């Protein structure tokens, strides 16, 4: 094909190499940055799904009524993995981080703070006292939850620093049948401790502080709510908040989290009662996902500017090529070359640079994203990206490739048009 041969000779080889390198760098940079962004996106998603069940049904009800509703929903919807009653309440509480100390006395208390043992002279009770290390008065979002075979509906285990055995929050006696303080998880930030003894007094409900065991802290990252989150068992929350056999939420976990909108509508239709408020995690985090999407496109635009610079370079090179080769183009036109053939010469040159730059850029970006994450994995984990891995969707790679090639083709149109406008006689005279 004569157009392909001519396209090789009209543009100098060194220019073609430099332009291809520009395209490679632009495409590779886009892929590497987008791969890192997806790690941040998935880490944020992990937090969103950790602090919310996939679907929540809100209404004040008895525990017995909630169990009837749960059975009804399970019978009619198949995509449910776990569904449990829960209690969500905002409360003001005084929390104290403490050290516990022992003392012995002969008495007949059955208090949780006393552990009984018998010796020759009678019953000895191990009595505990406390040294307060730090105290906070704050509003809390209390979530009392139920476990199913040790698993919660909320996938918050990934957020835990400390003990990840959730069953501890439902254990109230040790192996010797001695009472254990109720366990809980607390949002990181109020206290530095990962585990330990705490005294909590929910204001307006209790006169005295009660002893609790902090099983672990919750690392919420940048996704902190209006009120610090405290998670305990449903029984502990009902007892502490004086709401015996009362719940106000049904938590649901489903097979495919992104089908939450569809299943939410199904549940609303199934319940057919406006007193039930049915929400899902996507609705609650809509603003966050919108923000992340905007950030993604901003990053895409910033990095894509590298490809724009490469495209401008192609435009400049082709424009100069037309100026330098006016006489050659005039001769070709005088010999009968059609205008469409001249367009094809410039478009072929641009496509060659575009395809080579895009293909090699995609390959370099794919390898570079793996290498970057391998070399800086520890640093990325410190920034909050749990188990970072390259996340590259074929859609994004095709989008980058298509945008790059289309952009390069557009830059060839004006130089080609200028070449077509050259008058053979005037060009030969010059």
Cβ 366 vs Cβ 389: under 8 Å: no
pLDDT of 419 over the 80 cut: no
Q: DSSP state, 255?
A: S
Find the mean pLDDT for residues 21-33.
80
Residue with tokens 């940079």: 29
Instruction: Give the C-alpha separation, 99 to 174, whole Å.
Output: 20
Lowest mean pLDDT among 37-51, 92-106, 355-369: 37-51
The residues near 379 (Cβ < 8 Å, ≥ 6 apart) are none
Confidence of residue 212 (pLDDT cuts 50, 70, 90): very high
**pLDDT on residue 126:** 57
Find the mean pLDDT for residues 159-186.
87
pLDDT of 270 over the 80 cut: yes
Of residues 396, 423, 304, 406, the one with CA closest to residue 351: 406
The β-bridge relationship of strands 210-218 and 183-187 is parallel
pLDDT of 233 over the 90 cut: yes
Residue 359 has which token pair? 């293909």
- Concatenating the DSSP letter of every residue in 11-29 gives S-HHHHHHHHHHHHHHHHH
How far is residue 222 from each of residues 23, 51, 78, 190, measured CA to CA in Å? 36, 12, 34, 15
Confidence of residue 260 (pLDDT cuts 50, 70, 90): confident
**pLDDT on residue 425:** 67
Cβ 190 vs Cβ 160: under 8 Å: no
pLDDT of 45 over the 80 cut: no
Find the mean pLDDT for residues 261-279.
92
Cβ 47 vs Cβ 321: under 8 Å: no
Calculate the average pLDDT of the chain.
79
Residue 24: strand, helix, or coil: helix
285 or 88, which is more confident? 88
pLDDT of 391 over the 80 cut: no
**pLDDT on residue 68:** 94
The residues near 65 (Cβ < 8 Å, ≥ 6 apart) are none
Cβ 331 vs Cβ 429: under 8 Å: no
Cβ 143 vs Cβ 229: under 8 Å: yes
38 or 109, which is more confident? 38
Confidence of residue 255 (pLDDT cuts 50, 70, 90): confident
Q: Please compute Rg for the chain using Cα positions.
A: 34
- Residue-level length of the chain: 430
Is the pTM of the predicted complex or chain greater than 0.75?
no
Cβ 31 vs Cβ 400: under 8 Å: yes
Instruction: Give the C-alpha separation, 179 to 183, whole Å.
Output: 12
Find the mean pLDDT for residues 41-66.
79
Confidence of residue 110 (pLDDT cuts 50, 70, 90): very low
- Crossing angle of helices 326-334/286-324, nearest 10°? 80
Question: Residue 181 phi/psi, 5° resolution?
Answer: -65, 145
**pLDDT on residue 19:** 77
The residues near 390 (Cβ < 8 Å, ≥ 6 apart) are 35, 366, 369, 370, 373
Cβ 221 vs Cβ 382: under 8 Å: no
Of residues 80, 29, 58, 40, the one with CA closest to residue 289: 40
Enumerate the domain spans of the chain: 2-48+289-429, 53-274
pLDDT of 50 over the 60 cut: no
Find the mean pLDDT for residues 266-273.
91
**pLDDT on residue 106:** 47
Lowest mean pLDDT among 263-272, 348-357, 376-385: 376-385
């Amino acid at each position: 094909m004569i157009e392909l041969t001519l396209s090789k000779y009209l543009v100098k080889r060194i220019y073609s190499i430099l332009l291809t390198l520009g395209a490679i760098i632009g495409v590779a940079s886009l892929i590497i940055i987008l791969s890192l962004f997806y790690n941040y996106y998935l880490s944020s998603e992990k937090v969103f799904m950790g602090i919310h069940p996939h679907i929540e049904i809100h209404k004040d009800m008895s525990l017995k009524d909630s169990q009837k509703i749960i059975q009804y929903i399970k019978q009619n919807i198949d995509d449910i993995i776990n569904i449990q009653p829960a209690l969500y309440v905002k409360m003001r509480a005084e929390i104290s981080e403490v050290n516990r100390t022992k003392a012995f006395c002969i008495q007949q208390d059955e208090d949780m703070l006393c552990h009984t043992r018998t010796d020759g002279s009678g019953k000895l009770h191990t009595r505990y006292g406390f040294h307060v290390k730090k105290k906070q008065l704050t509003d809390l979002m209390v979530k009392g939850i139920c476990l199913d075979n040790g698993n919660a509906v909320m996938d918050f285990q990934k957020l835990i620093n400390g003990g990840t055995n959730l069953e501890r929050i439902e254990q109230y006696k040790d192996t010797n049948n001695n009472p254990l303080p109720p366990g809980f998880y607390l949002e990181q930030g109020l206290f530095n401790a990962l585990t330990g003894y705490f005294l909590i007094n929910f204001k307006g409900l209790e006169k005295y502080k009660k002893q609790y065991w902090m099983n672990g802290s919750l690392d919420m990252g940048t996704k902190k709510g209006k009120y610090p989150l405290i998670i305990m068992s449903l029984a502990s929350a009902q007892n502490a908040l004086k709401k015996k056999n009362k719940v106000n939420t049904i938590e649901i976990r489903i097979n495919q989290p992104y089908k939450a909108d569809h299943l939410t509508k199904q549940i609303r239709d199934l319940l057919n009662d406006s007193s039930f408020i049915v929400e899902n995690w996507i609705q609650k985090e809509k603003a966050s996902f919108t923000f992340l999407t905007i950030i993604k496109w901003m990053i895409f635009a910033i990095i894509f500017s590298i490809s724009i610079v490469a495209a401008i370079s192609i435009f400049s090179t082709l424009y100069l090529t037309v100026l330098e080769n006016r006489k050659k183009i005039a001769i070709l036109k005088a010999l009968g070359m059609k205008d469409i053939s001249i367009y094809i010469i410039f478009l072929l040159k641009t496509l060659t640079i575009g395809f080579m730059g895009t293909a090699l850029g995609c390959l370099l970006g794919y390898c570079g994203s793996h290498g970057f994450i391998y070399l800086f994995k520890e640093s990325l984990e410190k920034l909050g990206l749990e188990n970072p891995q390259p996340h590259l969707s074929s859609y994004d790679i095709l989008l980058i490739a298509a945008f790059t090639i289309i952009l390069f083709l557009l830059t060839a149109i004006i130089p080609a048009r200028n070449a077509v406008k050259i008058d053979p006689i005037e060009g030969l005279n010059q």
